[in-house]
Amino acid sequence: MRKKLMVLAALAALSAFSLGALSVAAQDEQEFTIGISNSFVSSEWRTQMIQNFEETAAELSEDPELGVEIELVIESEDTDAAGQEQQI
């Protein structure tokens, strides 16, 4: 549970919307696109991070009480800050 909350908090920070938007049951489905620029792909931790994002986004999208649809756009390649800016 703690792991899911941490991933959820990271998703919220990356997508610039509040956690409140996810926790409120909605009548109409809300759609969010979350972009992740993974600049260092040679790490097991980074691979696990991407997997956690994907699992959490799928879990949240499958919950009918939340009424949210999350699309992840993941860019993973070795790059610097300028490269990440270009990805965005």
- Enter the pTM of the model: 0.58
Q: What residue segments make up the domains of the chain, in order of their start?
A: 2-87
Tell me how far CA of residue 44 lies from CA of 5, 6, 25, 58, in angstroms: 21, 18, 35, 21
The whole-number pLDDT of residue 72 equals 92
Residue 72 contacts residue 54 (beta carbons within 8 Å): yes
Per-position pLDDT tens, the chain of length 88:
566 555 555 655 555 443 344 444 445 678 999 988 887 777 888 889 999 999 999 999 999 888 899 999 988 776 788 887 887 7
**3-state SS class at 1:** coil
* Whole-number pLDDT of residue 56: 94
